[in-house]
Amino acid sequence: MPRKSWTRPMGRLLTGAIAAAVLAGCGGSGGGTAGASVQELMQARNLSEADVVAALKTYTPTGRTDPFVMFASGGHSGQVIVIGIPSMRILKYIGVFTPEPWQGYGFDDQTKALMASSSPRGKDLTWGDSHHPALSETNGDYDGQFLFINDKANARIAVVSLKDFVTTQIVHSPILGTDHGGSFVTPNTDYIIEGGQYPVPLDGSYQPITDFDDKYRGAVMFWKFDRDNGAIDPSQSFAMELPPYMQDLSDAGKLVSDGWAFINSFDTERSHGGDMEGQPPLESGASQNDMDYLHVIDWKKAAEVAAQAGKTRNVQGVRVIPLATAVQEGLLYFVPEPKSPHGVDVTPDGRYLAVSGKLDTHETVYDWSKIKAAIDVKNFEGNDPYGVPIIGFQTALHGQVELGLGPLHTQWDDQGNGYTSLFIESKIAKWSLKDMKVLEKIPVHYNIGHLATPEGDSEHPKGHYVVALDKWSIDRFNNVGPLMPQNMQLIDTSTPQMQLLYDLPIGLGEPHYAQIISADKLNAAQMYSPVGENQVTHQPDPHAITSEDQARVERHGRVVDVYMTAVRSHFKPDRVDVTKGDTVHFHITNLEQTPDATHGFGLGEYDVNLSLEAGKTANVTVVTDKAGVFPYYCTEFCSALHLEMMGYMLVKG
């Protein structure tokens, strides 16, 4: 049924530049609306003026780019999704923890080795549960150089180079088991914080669950990032042992709170299941206490302590500061926080910490200067069972804002406002940090988890938008069966009232957190230049060749090296003769130096697909275990003679 508002004269409710734009499109003689006036189009499509405004705020004509770029976790798809804002156009999926054939990620020798390098127990992992992307920072602001993301399922952190949006490193923490409070970077990306989630024996051993309090532990990793090498340096990284609570999200302090890290926890009850033995189900056992503990960690001092002889224990190759040492050295403090909290988010000026209690209707805001003062004068109200000093709730409190049901996460804008997701209410609450007052709420669809504002967790948020990352979409899209897409909703926060602008269904995994960066900070290469770069090392590939003259097949006994080139529209060599049982290394260089002149290398039965972007060299090894004739061909439609871009691997029996 047509809504009423379309019948009003155009422009009455539209103001300023938007009205001008609309009117320019529909005004008078043939203003480019293909025969129908804007009013007629609105009527035909049943659009309100608000809908048209939303369209005008997001529609991006061909050839124009977005002012912001969002990096969203792909959840248990193990990928990262890159999205333009405000157009909400999906720009890329980055393969991280999961093989991704279009990019050849996890198919060539180097990316296969990269994925295997982080696998616990040498088992190949083919998925990850990516949660929290973190852009690298310089002086507390995103610098557009690197992206980090964690894998909750296997306690891993990946490094993505924003030079080419490619994963270059994955590290695994053997002591954690799972992680969740990562990845979060310190203001100059000295460390990447990875807080564990579910307590386990840190040494990887079996311990009866009845020994939970004594033998199970939480921990947090501080991964040292070597910016010059673009890589985490495990040898300079360390961990801190924590009590067996379930540590949750974390954040790094900034400016006045720089040098400190904050980690939420739940299940300070240490409930550990047993519902078949008459124990309460874990989740109700974990929700008994009114307060859990915000962990306050002096990471700068911890780094110094970790460097001192005898202050750490080597646990599965990780330098771990034992809990008792952490307490003794004054590295770890607790502040009570209500109740089963989820997100902790430091304000852009570093002065306050906003904590969302999933089972509490408030946002609880702590004053860093009060926490620091209590630490300095040792004003504690007691210790937890593991000896960690507890600062009084009221001592640390700045204030509380009643937001609504199920607060989860908070992001900031450039006007001193916080935006907090309300999971149970399916709303975003906008609130003033200065006045500690709710300003407005807007419904989202539905069950919002994280939310993201442009540069919203840096020292200089950009405002203008918030993106709701909704877990459920139910009735928002065409029905595609019981497994429904997630829903990312773009909301304009620059207007006096927030306005929902756009719904983007995500049919790939479950995005958790996302970060939004100003597009002008990104400066990715359009191709690999000079020719012959390897995407994992970002160095000249040792097997690169730079002209077709160098193409050749070298035999060394049962090992065959094929130095191959790809250029529109042929491979050289286009025939490779081998004998069953040979190990064949294909080293393929795309000689093109034209942007987007990508070739592929697909070889059926051997599970091979490479992506060969302009200038790239990739290597893949097959062991020919079967005699026969195996066509290889280019998998990217690169040219008019793309279908002719093929060759034969002939395997003699």
Residues that bind ligand CUK (CB under 6 A): 131-132, 180, 249, 342, 408-409, 449-450, 512-513
Q: What's the min distance (Å) between Cβ of 599 and ligand CUA?
A: 4
Q: What's the min distance (Å) between Cβ of 459 and ligand CUK?
A: 21
Q: Which residue is nearest to ligand CUK (CB)?
A: 449
Stretch that binds ligand CUA, among 298-306, 322-330, 434-442, 631-639 (CB under 6 A): 631-639
Cβ closest to ligand CUK, residue 254 vs residue 512: 512
* Closest residue by Cα to residue 345 from 448, 468, 433: 433
Residues binding ligand CUA: number (CB under 6 A)? 8
Q: Which helix (H) or strand (E) holds 44?
A: helix 38-45
Q: What's the min distance (Å) between Cβ of 648 and ligand CUA?
A: 16
**CB count, 10 Å around CB of 100?**
21
Sort strands 318-321 and 417-422 into parallel, antiparallel or unpaired.
unpaired
| DSSP per-residue codes, 100-131 | BGGGTBTTSHHHHHHHHHT-GGGPPP----B-
**What angle is formed at CA 634 by the lines to CA 628 and CA 637, rounded to 5 degrees?**
145
Please list, in sequence order, all residues whose beta carbon lies within 8 angstroms of the beta carbon of residue 544, skipping any fewer than 6 positions away. 531, 532, 533, 534, 587, 589, 617
Q: Which of 599, 602, 609, 647 binds ligand CUA (CB under 6 A)?
A: 599
Stretch that binds ligand CUA, among 116-124, 215-223, 459-467, 636-644 (CB under 6 A): 636-644
Q: Which of 83, 491, 560, 634 binds ligand CUA (CB under 6 A)?
A: 634
Cβ closest to ligand CUA, residue 272 vs residue 587: 587
The site partner of 408 among ligand CUK, ligand CUA, none (C-beta below 5 to 8 Å per kind) is ligand CUK
Q: What's the min distance (Å) between Cβ of 645 and ligand CUA?
A: 4
Q: What's the min distance (Å) between Cβ of 131 and ligand CUK?
A: 4
The site partner of 449 among ligand CUK, ligand CUA, none (C-beta below 5 to 8 Å per kind) is ligand CUK
Q: Which of 137, 292, 345, 636 binds ligand CUA (CB under 6 A)?
A: 636
Stretch that binds ligand CUA, among 126-134, 268-276, 410-418, 633-641 (CB under 6 A): 633-641
Q: How many residues does the structure list for the chain?
A: 653
| DSSP per-residue codes, 149-178 | EEETTTTEEEEEETTTTEEEEEEE-TTTSS
The site partner of 239 among ligand CUA, ligand CUK, none (C-beta below 5 to 8 Å per kind) is none
Give, in order, the Cα–Cα distances in Å from 560 to each of 244, 361, 552, 555, 577: 53, 66, 10, 5, 10
Torsion-angle region of 396 (φ positive above 0: left; ψ -120 to 50: alpha; else: beta): alpha
The site partner of 311 among ligand CUA, ligand CUK, none (C-beta below 5 to 8 Å per kind) is none
Residue 614 interacts with ligand CUA (CB under 6 A)? no
d(CA 471, CA 465): 19
Stretch that binds ligand CUA, among 243-251, 289-297, 414-422, 638-646 (CB under 6 A): 638-646
Cβ closest to ligand CUA, residue 148 vs residue 571: 571
Residue 645 interacts with ligand CUA (CB under 6 A)? yes
At 203, list the tokens. 């040494």
Residue 638 interacts with ligand CUA (CB under 6 A)? yes
Cβ closest to ligand CUK, residue 58 vs residue 361: 361
Residue 613 interacts with ligand CUA (CB under 6 A)? no
d(CA 227, CA 524): 17
The site partner of 599 among ligand CUA, ligand CUK, none (C-beta below 5 to 8 Å per kind) is ligand CUA
**Where does 229-291 have alpha helices with state H?**
282-285
Give, in order, the Cα–Cα distances in Å from 552 to each of 351, 411, 543, 561, 591: 63, 56, 12, 8, 15
Q: What's the min distance (Å) between Cβ of 444 and ligand CUA?
A: 43
Please list, in sequence order, all residues whose beta carbon lies within 8 angstroms of the beta carbon of residue 12, skipping any fewer than 6 positions away. none
Residue 591 interacts with ligand CUA (CB under 6 A)? no
Q: At what angle do helices 38-45 and 16-26 cross, to 10 degrees?
A: 100
- Rg over alpha carbons for the chain, rounded to the nearest Å, is 27
Cβ closest to ligand CUA, residue 198 vs residue 648: 648
Cβ closest to ligand CUK, residue 131 vs residue 372: 131
How far the first Cα of the chain sits from its last, in Å, is 71
Cβ closest to ligand CUA, residue 390 vs residue 638: 638
Q: Would you tell me which residues interact with ligand CUA (CB under 6 A)? A: 569, 599, 634, 636-638, 642, 645
